[in-house]
Amino acid sequence: MVNKTSSCVFISGNGSNLKSLIKSSRDYNFPIKIELIISNNIKAGGIRLAKRYSIPYKFFPSNDQKKFERNCLFEIKKRKIKFLCLAGFMKILSSNFIRTFRHKIINIHPSLLPKYPGAHAHRDALADGAKVTGCTVHLVDEGVDSGPILAQRELEVLPDDDEDSLSERVKVLEHILYPEVIDAFAAGLL
């Protein structure tokens, strides 16, 4: 078995990307082990997944950002976690926090960055009349969805797409791309 890197996944919502990472991480050769799931939303579907797969999880409200990050740091250090995956985590982390884990925080975003950063990527793509969209896995820096791009997958926008259909179709790609990139990144291929 590869020497798996202790990792934490941050979520806010549904957790479909979390699910794909959990499934991949159960593979003998996948380079990360999910030791902790952190949610800033008590109602996040991902919390149910944490329970189902018996992965330790913490809910910390993020309205007080300093307190939130202090709580996260405490848990991360306690568990000797070395790699952080954001998977639908809807809160901007502070520069201090990001600097502590430089090049150790990775995110998936539902657009072809640098196009359509922020919380409404599909809405923005549709409003812009984009013919092609997709998803991006990138390292997290101090900006909003602005860190170095590791990989992208493209998808054609169909004439009758709305935000929901686009999100659903892009997520199919996300669930493949995110584990692939983590695998390659850990192997030093990216």
Residue numbers annotated as active site = 109
Q: By the criterion CB under 6 A, which residues form the site for ligand GRF?
A: 13-18, 87-88, 108-110, 135, 171, 174
Minimal distance in Å, beta carbon 155 to ligand GRF?
12
Minimal distance in Å, beta carbon 77 to ligand GRF?
25
Cβ-based neighbours of 18, under 8 Å, separated by 6 or more: 9, 11, 37, 46, 49, 87, 88
Of the candidates 15, 36, 178, 188, the one whose C-alpha atom is nearest the C-alpha of residue 107 is: 178
Specify the residue, 97 or 109, whose C-beta has the smaller distance to ligand GRF. Answer: 109
Specify the residue, 7 or 16, whose C-beta has the smaller distance to ligand GRF. Answer: 16
Specify the residue, 2 or 167, whose C-beta has the smaller distance to ligand GRF. Answer: 167
Minimal distance in Å, beta carbon 52 to ligand GRF?
15
**How far are the Cα atoms of 11, 24, 66, 184 from residue 94, in angstroms, in the given order?**
16, 29, 9, 27
SS3 5: strand
